[in-house]
């Protein structure tokens, strides 16, 4: 029989840090912290297997769970020296979720569980603080009603506000024990009136209600959204942690806090945390009271006393624990602690979320400290997170009118129009506007808006507030706790300290690295790979086997990509060149020509332009390999569609309107994606590819002859489904290429290969390889055809598919390894079986997504190719892949 409950406490634990899949991150780390001797309140963890059994079994618990929980509770009572439901010496517990992946703010928690009208007396006696006891009781009822029973939180909050008003006080803390006692009674009455049942007095009933609520919250919409955004599988499930309560709110010798062992925004090796005296943990995170710093080292303004000053002994103990944790985990930790009557308890540790910037600095620093190896450092940085660093930052030379300053909560720079609600952010983004979401503070209900916005600005909350944590997770620029601004949701405006008014729709710019809020849209500069980033990338390059190329169609893109470390061009699309400037006119003439002569005449006009494009790109790539894909889209993409444009074209080329119109209609296709395009065009009109091959080869010959370049052009023929297509087009290309070489008297090595982007090409790759010097998997089209899913049309239903878990990930973002990947693997192996020296890469957008890059490494491809700005991501992912091989 499975073991469902794992104990921890008194320096011993059933579980361990490595068991996060089973125990969740929190449970695993509580067990680990207990084992390494840190002061952790005892408790036990219900495993994630219980969660999955619960859902598989129509929301019923597995047999035997009840007995295991009861026996664990017995041990917990002994360790805490208290009794669950004992009126004299009651044990109170917290019930918290803890999934294998950190999901901040997503799951629900119930504290102070075990309180009822009997046990409250024991708490009063034990704490000698009736106010604290009743405050705990009313908090418990509020949380239970809301979290377990789904009762609207405002109902009880309103009673609390009315009480404060009646007593003429502002703060909760100003209410007396009796006031709070009355509130408890009023809360229970309201509970009964709303839910039509009594508030449960039985601690057992409370416990199972809370456990059920945690498991139930795994499927709440916020959790579903978070999982979707972070690609967390629905079947991981959550664990539940039941832990003896300790109290940070039992007086001024109590406190609660959260800290990072290093700065999570910059990565600086500096103990970074916030705490509140006489408070429970939720108070710090929720941003209701502005928290105080734990030390003075870097404290802004200095108007609040630090823990180091107020509680020097506990601070010293915490610093020691920080050291133990970093030595033990060898990574930056995100911790929660509580001080009860001067005694420090660790409530949680977990690997801290950090910005990409911080991730790199921490990794590089830890190598320098001897904590981890270079390999570990490389593995420590999530390749996809680098995306954050590959966006523009503010131009240091630009003029800036700073209108406010807040905390630099998540770095990067963003400009956009101000909006004041998550829904508005989402709506405006759909309308292609760039927006900055401005909120007093954010809550989990705002996640969709944060996701939509370019940046987030909050008036309240610290560096560990919801807004800050979530924004960093999203790699999104955020300025938090900006007390300089007052927000009026009703009037939809914000007012700065200097009295400046910013209305909805006005543009502002955030600098997440300085905390500055700036008027208007400030110019930005391109990112670059330097400093620690460059160091880390150089280590990555030491380990990786997979080459990284780029998809670039212009000399400018080629240059950017080279600076980011691209080792060649894997996909140079030539159709963009057909659209540029006055070329489109010649292209249209070619399409409208009724015969070969007319087409050739038009192509002759395009030839010199294409040639100069290729010269520019070859020069920029300085001898690195360049794969050029011949014309791919269907011809109708080059023709105008509206009658006005058709008429204009008819005038321009001197053909009757009706004739042009007829041409346009004749070229219409029901499914252009599956139509007359790619190599199929060249079978019909070989002269088009002939011109392109001529341009490529003339460009190469001139550079080789006149500038001493070494170039091996790679000519790529798209959309092959049958080897015969390639056989014919290869022969044509060879004929043209050889005649150009002869004309220039230059010997050029060139390769002719093909995209593998249709299932049939992968299935018959052994035959196709007979005619190909290289393969490049076009995984965009291969995904479309393998799924039978048009990317242009999937918007109607694909988001819904992801939302509902039908598909775990968007297959156009992360390569579908089981389906599309199976074809890639098959195509690769069949190709190599025919031609062992076949060069093979991929050039779909998956080439810049880490899980896809790792897959490409695993199956043995030579290279991936991706957009210039994703080259570092691919380099790092390739290193991860190589290092994973070693395990």
Q: How far is CA 849 from the centre of its chain?
A: 11
* Binding residue (CB under 8 A) for a copy of itself from 125, 583, 760, 858: 760
Closest to a copy of itself by CB, 648 vs 810, is 810
Write 434-438 long-range contacts (CB < 8 A, 24+). Answer: 436/508, 436/510, 438/485, 438/487, 438/494
Q: Which of 146, 574, 784, 867 binds a copy of itself (CB under 8 A)?
A: 784
Among 197, 252, 800, 837, binds a copy of itself (CB under 8 A): 800
Contact 616, 608 (CB under 8 A): no
The separation between the first and the last C-alpha atoms of the chain, rounded to the nearest angstrom, is 31
CB-CB contact of 108 with 142 (8 Å):
no
Partnered with residue 835 across adjacent β-strands are none
- Interface characters, 705-734, with a copy of itself (x: CB under 8 A): --------------x-xx-xx--x------
Using alpha carbons only, give the angle 186, 284, 252 rounded to the nearest 5 degrees.
75
Residue 617, classed as helix, strand or coil, is helix
Q: Catalytic: 51? A: no
Stretch that binds a copy of itself, among 96-104, 609-617, 696-704, 793-801 (CB under 8 A): 793-801
Stretch that binds a copy of itself, among 16-24, 205-213, 486-494, 779-787 (CB under 8 A): 779-787
Binding status of residue 758 toward a copy of itself by CB under 8 A = yes
Binding track over 514-553 against a copy of itself, x by CB under 8 A: ----------------------------------------
**Read out DSSP for 835-872?**
-TT-EEEE-SGGGGSHHHHHHHHHHT-SEEEE-GGGHH
Q: Does 632 bind a copy of itself (CB under 8 A)?
A: no
- Among 757, 773, 849, 862, the residue binding a copy of itself under the rule CB under 8 A is 757
Interacting span for a copy of itself (CB under 8 A) from 200-208, 417-425, 704-712, 790-798: 790-798
Q: Please give the residues from 19 up to 48 whose contact with a copy of itself meets the rule CB under 8 A.
A: none
Q: Which of 796, 836, 886, 887 binds a copy of itself (CB under 8 A)?
A: 796
When binding is defined by CB under 8 A, the residue of 252, 582, 792, 886 that contacts a copy of itself is 792
Cβ-count burial 282-300 (b if 16+ within 10 Å, e if not) = ebbbbbeeebbbbbeeeee
Out of 387, 567, 698, 781, name the contact with a copy of itself by CB under 8 A: 781
What are the residues facing 509 on neighbouring strands? 415, 518
Which residues have CB under 8 Å from 130's CB, separation 6+?
124, 177, 181
3-state SS, residue 502? strand
Binding flag, residue 686, a copy of itself (CB under 8 A): no
Q: How far is the CB of 584 from a copy of itself (least distance, A)?
A: 21
813 lies in the site for a copy of itself, by CB under 8 A: no
Note the helical H segments in 407-512.
422-430, 447-452, 466-474
Tokens linked to 394: 């503010």
Mode of pairing for the β-strands spanning 93-98 and 109-113 = antiparallel
Cβ at position 422, least distance to a copy of itself in Å: 24
**Candidate segments 126-134, 335-343, 754-762, 873-881, binder of a copy of itself by CB under 8 A:** 754-762
Tell me whether residue 887 is one of the annotated catalytic residues: no
Stretch of 315-323, 371-379, 448-456, 787-795 lying at the interface with a copy of itself (CB under 8 A): 787-795
Residues 643-682 contacting a copy of itself, CB under 8 A: 669-676, 680
Q: Which is nearer to a copy of itself, 282 or 793 (CB)?
A: 793
> Closer to a copy of itself at the Cβ: 469 or 768?
768
Q: What is the DSSP letter of 631?
A: P
Three-state SS letters, 452-471? HCCEEEECCCCCCCHHHHHH
Q: Which stretch binds a copy of itself (CB under 8 A): 53-61, 143-151, 300-308, 800-808?
A: 800-808
For the purposes of burial, counting CB atoms within 10 Å of the CB of 767, is it exposed (0-12), middle (13-18) or buried (19 or more)? middle
Nearer to a copy of itself, 599 or 875 (CB): 599
The nearer residue to a copy of itself, 483 or 672, going by C-beta atoms, is: 672
Q: Given phi > 0 = left and psi -120 to 50 = alpha, else beta, which region is 515?
A: left
Among 801, 813, 832, 859, binds a copy of itself (CB under 8 A): 801
Residue from the set 789, 814, 859, 883 that interacts with a copy of itself by CB under 8 A: 789
Q: DSSP character for 83?
A: B
Size of the site for a copy of itself (CB under 8 A): 48
* CB of 844 vs a copy of itself, minimal distance in Å: 14
Q: What is the dihedral of CA 414, 418, 421, 423, to 10 degrees?
A: -80
d(CA 423, CA 504): 13
The residue within the footprint of a copy of itself, chosen from 804, 860, 884, 885 (CB under 8 A), is: 804
Interface mask toward a copy of itself for 822-861; x: CB under 8 A: xx--------------------------------------
Q: Which of 224, 286, 683, 883 binds a copy of itself (CB under 8 A)?
A: 683
Q: Tell me the C-alpha distance between 626 and 498, whole Å.
A: 56
> Residue 726 is encoded by which pair of tokens?
């390639």
Closest residue by Cα to residue 460 from 436, 480, 488, 430? 480
Nearer CB in complex with a copy of itself: 482/823: 823
Q: Which is nearer to a copy of itself, 399 or 800 (CB)?
A: 800
Active-site residue identified among 466, 846, 857, 880: 466
Minimum gap (Å) between residue 862 Cβ and a copy of itself: 24
Contact (CB, 8 A) for 639 and 667:
yes
Check if the beta carbon of residue 446 is closer than 8 Å to that of residue 437.
Answer: yes
Smallest distance from the beta carbon of 469 to a copy of itself, in angstroms?
31
Among 204, 290, 790, 834, binds a copy of itself (CB under 8 A): 790
Please enumerate in sequence order all residues whose Cβ is within 8 A of that of 619, keeping only pairs 6 or more positions apart, or say none: 555, 703, 707, 709
Q: Which of 793, 833, 860, 884 binds a copy of itself (CB under 8 A)?
A: 793
Q: What is the dihedral of CA 166, 169, 172, 176, to 10 degrees?
A: -70
- Among residues 843, 846, 856, 880, which one is catalytic? 843
Which of these segments, 305-313, 331-339, 468-476, 751-759, binds a copy of itself (CB under 8 A)? 751-759
Interface with a copy of itself by CB under 8 A: which residues?
669-676, 680, 683-684, 719, 721-722, 724-725, 728, 757-760, 763-764, 767, 781, 784-790, 792-793, 796-797, 800-801, 804-807, 816, 818-820, 822-823
Which residues does the annotation mark as catalytic?
466, 843
């Amino acid at each position: 029989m499975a073991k469902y409950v794992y104990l921890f406490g008194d320096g011993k634990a059933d579980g361990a840090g490595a068991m996060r899949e089973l125990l969740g991150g929190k449970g695993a780390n509580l067990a680990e912290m207990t084992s390494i001797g840190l002061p952790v309140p005892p408790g036990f963890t219900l495993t994630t297997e219980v969660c999955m059994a619960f859902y598989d079994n129509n929301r019923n618990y597995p047999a035997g769970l009840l007995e295991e929980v009861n026996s664990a509770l017995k041990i917990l009572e002994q360790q805490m020296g208290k009794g669950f439901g004992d009126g004299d010496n009651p044990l109170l517990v917290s019930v918290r979720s803890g999934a294998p992946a950190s999901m901040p703010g997503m799951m629900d928690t119930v504290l102070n569980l075990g309180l009822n009208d009997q046990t409250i007396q024991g708490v009063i006696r034990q704490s000698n603080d009736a106010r604290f006891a009743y405050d705990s009781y009313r908090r418990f009822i509020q949380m239970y009603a809301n979290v377990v029973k789904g009762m609207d939180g405002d109902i009880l909050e309103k009673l609390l506000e009315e009480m404060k008003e009646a007593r003429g006080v502002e703060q909760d803390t100003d209410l007396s024990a009796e006031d709070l006692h009355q509130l408890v009674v009023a809360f229970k009455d309201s509970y009964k009136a709303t839910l039509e049942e009594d508030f449960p007095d039985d601690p057992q009933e409370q416990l199972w209600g809370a456990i059920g609520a945690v498991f139930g919250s795994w499927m709440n919409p916020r959790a579903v959204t978070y999982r979707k955004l972070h690609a967390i599988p629905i079947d991981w499930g959550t664990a539940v942690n039941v832990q003896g309560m300790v109290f940070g709110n039992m007086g001024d010798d109590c406190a609660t806090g959260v800290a990072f062992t290093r700065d999570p925004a910059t990565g600086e090796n500096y103990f970074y945390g916030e705490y509140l005296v006489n408070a429970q943990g939720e108070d710090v995170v929720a941003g209701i009271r502005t928290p105080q710093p734990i030390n003075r080292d870097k404290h802004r303004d200095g108007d609040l006393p630090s823990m180091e000053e107020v509680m020097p002994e506990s601070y010293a103990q915490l610093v020691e624990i920080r050291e133990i944790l970093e030595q033990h985990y060898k990574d930056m930790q995100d911790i929660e602690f509580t001080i009860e009557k001067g005694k420090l308890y660790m409530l949680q540790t977990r690997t801290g979320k950090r910005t990409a910037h911080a991730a790199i600095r921490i990794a590089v620093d830890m190598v320098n400290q001897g904590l981890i190896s270079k390999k570990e450092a490389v593995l420590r940085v999530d390749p996809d997170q680098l995306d954050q660093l590959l966006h523009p930052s503010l131009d240091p030379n630009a003029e800036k009118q700073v209108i406010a300053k807040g905390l630099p909560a998540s770095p990067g720079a963003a400009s956009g129009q101000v909006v004041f609600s998550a829904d508005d952010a989402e709506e405006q983004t759909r309308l292609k506007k760039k927006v900055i979401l401005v909120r007093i503070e954010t809550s989990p209900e705002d996640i969709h808006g944060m996701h939509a916005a370019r940046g987030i600005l909050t008036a309240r909350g610290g560096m560990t507030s919801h807004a800050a944590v979530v924004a960093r997770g999203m790699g999104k620029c955020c300025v938090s706790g900006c007390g300089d601004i007052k927000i009026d949701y009703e009037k939809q405006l914000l007012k700065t300290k200097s009295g400046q008014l910013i209305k909805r729709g006005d543009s502002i710019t955030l600098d997440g690295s300085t905390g500055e809020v700036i008027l208007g849209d400030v110019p930005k500069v391109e990112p670059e790979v330097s400093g620690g980033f460059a160091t880390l990338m150089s280590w990555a390059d030491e380990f990786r086997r997979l080459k990284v190329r780029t998809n670039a169609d212009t000399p400018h893109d080629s240059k950017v990509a080279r600076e980011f470390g691209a080792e060649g061009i894997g996909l140079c699309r030539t159709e963009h060149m057909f659209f540029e400037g006055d070329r489109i006119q010649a292209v249209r003439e070619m399409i409208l020509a009724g015969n070969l002569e007319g087409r050739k005449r038009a192509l002759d006009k395009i030839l010199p332009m294409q040639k100069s494009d290729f010269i520019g790109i070859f020069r920029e790539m300085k001898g690195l390999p360049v794969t050029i894909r011949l014309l791919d889209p269907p011809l109708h993409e080059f023709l105008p569609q509206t009658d006005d444009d058709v008429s204009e074209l008819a005038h321009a080329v001197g053909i009757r309107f009706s004739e042009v119109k007829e041409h346009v209609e004749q070229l219409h296709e029901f499914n252009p994606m599956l139509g007359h395009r790619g190599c199929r065009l060249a079978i019909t009109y070989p002269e088009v590819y002939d011109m392109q091959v001529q341009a490529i080869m003339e460009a190469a010959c001139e550079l080789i002859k006149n500038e001493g370049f070494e170039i091996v052009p790679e000519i790529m023929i798209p959309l092959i489904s049958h080897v015969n297509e390639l056989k014919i087009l290869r022969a044509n290309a060879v004929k043209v290429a050889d005649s150009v070489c002869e004309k220039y008297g230059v010997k050029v090595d060139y390769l002719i290969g093909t995209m593998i982007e249709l299932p049939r090409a992968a299935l018959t790759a052994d035959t196709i390889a007979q005619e190909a010097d290289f393969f490049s998997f076009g995984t965009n089209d291969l995904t479309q055809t393998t799924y039978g899913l048009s990317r242009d049309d999937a918007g109607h239903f694909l988001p819904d598919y992801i939302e509902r878990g039908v598909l775990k990930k968007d297959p156009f973002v992360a390569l579908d390894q089981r389906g599309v990947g199976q074809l890639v693997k098959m195509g690769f192996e069949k190709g190599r079986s025919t031609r062992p020296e076949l060069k093979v890469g991929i050039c779909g957008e998956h080439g810049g997504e880490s899980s896809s890059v790792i897959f490409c490494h695993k199956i043995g491809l030579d290279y991936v190719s991706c957009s210039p700005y994703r080259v570092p991501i691919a380099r790092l992912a390739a290193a991860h892949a190589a290092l994973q091989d070693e395990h």
